A and B are shown apart, each in its own frame.
Chain A
Amino acid sequence: MIRPDWHIVEQWITPRSRVLDLGCGDGSLMAHLIDRRQVSAVGLELDDDQVAACIEAGLNVIQEDLDSGISDWFAPMSFDFVIVSQTIQAMRHPERLLADMLSIAREGIVTFPNMGYWRNRVQLGLLGHMPFNRALPNPWYNTPNIHLCTLTDFEALCDELGLEILDRAVVDSARRESALLRTFPNWFGEHAIYRIKRRV
């Protein structure tokens, strides 16, 4: 299964670069990038089943809780790209991770579900209940997604952390990009994908 954001992530990755995938799940994005971009990749993942799946797929994975910090593991600038795909919204301290990841890699690629997506706004603003849909498929009381944000929120945090936004893409559930999406990304983007680096 190809996740909505992968083809965009793939376009941003330089061939044969060194890639770190934080919260790599079963490693399918790493496998995809190894296949398409011949990268050398290593993932961080906490869940036993996912770690085992990575190893079974012949991928390199480190079993670790992202919230306990990543800068312990890797030397400064030891990667070209660090990817956090659909993960920051589930972290206790996304702001620490964003700062840390750009000390160990040249560029960061971050994807997350956009809380500002119109369906989320309708569910909360008009219907008066927490968003519950394809991009946010868990009920509020039992969800890994504890730090949801909109595009505006994320960009403000990047600014605060001294991070420069190099690229931004948004996709809807059908993974299309369109004029509507480009004009009103914070309304119609179901998932946001950013390429960021440290401001010099």
Chain B
Amino acid sequence: MNHSVGIVHPQTAIFTAPLALDCGRSLPSYTLVYETYGQLNAAGSNAVLICHALSGDHHAAGFNAETERKPGWWDSAIGPGKPIDTNRFFVVCLNNLGGCKGSTGPLSIDPATNKPYGPDFPIVTVRDWVSAQHRLMQYLGLARWVAVIGGSLGGMQVLQWSISYPDAIAHAVVIAAAPKLSAQNIAFNEVARQAIITDPEFHGGRYAEEGTLPRRGLMLARMLGHITYLSDDAMRAKFGRELRAGQVNYGFDVEFQVESYLRYQGTSFVDRFDANTYLLMTKALDYFDPAHEYGDDLSAALAPAQADFLVISFTSDWRFAPMRSREIVRALLAAGRRVSYAEIESNHGHDAFLMNIPYYHRVLAGYMANIDLTLEQSAGVL
């Protein structure tokens, strides 16, 4: 526990200037919920932004209460003495727009109707999130991030940061990400969305008004997601063909351990996540494609970037396989960026980015320690 940031309290920032969105609509006002870990230094130069993935939120590290059983979603990497060392860095993590953990999203009240947005919440993109994150940066009185770090959908936000606000990001750490989704990725998202939308309890997204929840649909979506987060090897190692009761019963109840695991993941997700938010997040993933506006030339899209990059992938990740990270690295090299790339041997699939894999954490820690070193050197010059 001495490597934990300990008890943290979420904070709230309210923005009253309208935010124009990619979809053409705008949010008149909105709230962002965030947590911070570590201390901002006197020069205000050690701020690090963490971008969350599909089902993540602002609670990246530590505990919100003494009684909380599990720490924040990336506690393995964020804390005192950890790769993203809170003794050195001031770390900020927020819940993105459209989320369901306190930031303005489908569960929030639409000021125009005084009812929850529900399905009427505008579709938000990765670029919209980054615009909102930039406003949070200004709200916090920060001139720039010394690093923006994210895995999966979070890594896409990091790429977008380097393009949208090249002066406001010194280092970009892009983990288990892709420059855009493949048709297969979109296909999985579409099955997940259809599971939710066709649930009779979905009511066109107005389930809250009906006093119900599309539990089965959201559960199926999460079960499907979990299959894509793990590798075949990881599933074999974790569950094999283990039977819960030690024998087959020739029925459709849970028999294999993997079924039990998926049902547990699915049902527990329903209690903590909103179906409309899930739909929005999968759409943000599908739409992300910074190269599209540049004739599908990713290096042209990355031409404005000024940051130094660290790109990391995992060998058994088939959702965003190493070849997708290599596309990013090649484009960065062609754009003349300083970039390092590490390919981590792991059988944990896409989920590996959340795990404490020694080589992975050594690379991340080494990169962050060098950032800290340059901060100390520039402080020495001042």
Contacts and interface: CB of A to CB of B under 8 A. Distances in A.
Interface of A: 40, 42, 48, 51-52, 54-64, 72-75, 78
B333 A52 contact: no
B138 to A, nearest CB: 30
B259 interface: no
Given A58-B370, A60-B340, A63-B342, A52 B330 contact: no
Contacts of B297: none
Contact of B340 (A40, A61, A73): A61
A105 to B, nearest CB: 13
B244 interface: no
A75 B342 contact: no
Given A48-B345, A48-B359, A54 B333 contact: no
A51 B333 contact: no
Contacts of B341: 61-64
B329 interface: yes
Nearest to A61: B340
Given A58-B373, A60-B340, A62-B329, A52 B334 contact: no
B366 A52 contact: yes
Contacts of B334: 75, 78
Given A52-B363, A55-B310, A74 B342 contact: no
A52 B329 contact: no
Given A73-B330, A73-B333, A74-B333, A55 B359 contact: no
Contacts of A63: 341-343
B339 interface: yes
B369 interface: yes
Could you tell me the dominant secondary structure of chain B's interface residues?
A: helix
Interface of B: 310, 329-330, 333-334, 338-343, 345, 359, 362-363, 366-367, 369-370, 373-374
A73 B329 contact: yes
B366 A55 contact: yes
A55 B370 CA distance: 8
B118 to A, nearest CB: 46
A62 B329 CA distance: 9
Given A51-B363, A56-B362, 5 more contacts: A48-B345, A52-B362, A52-B363, A56-B370, A73-B329
Contact of A51 (B342, B369, B374): B342
Nearest to A58: B370
A48 B315 CA distance: 13
A100 to B, nearest CB: 15
Contacts of B338: 40, 42, 60
A54 B367 CA distance: 10
A17 to B, nearest CB: 14
A64 B311 CA distance: 13
22 contacts: A48-B345, A48-B359, A52-B363, A54-B340, A55-B310, A55-B340, A55-B342, A55-B370, A56-B370, A60-B340, A61-B341, A62-B333, A62-B339, A62-B341, A63-B341, A63-B342, A73-B330, A73-B333, A74-B333, A75-B334, A78-B333, A78-B334
Contacts of A73: 329-330, 333
A74 B342 CA distance: 17
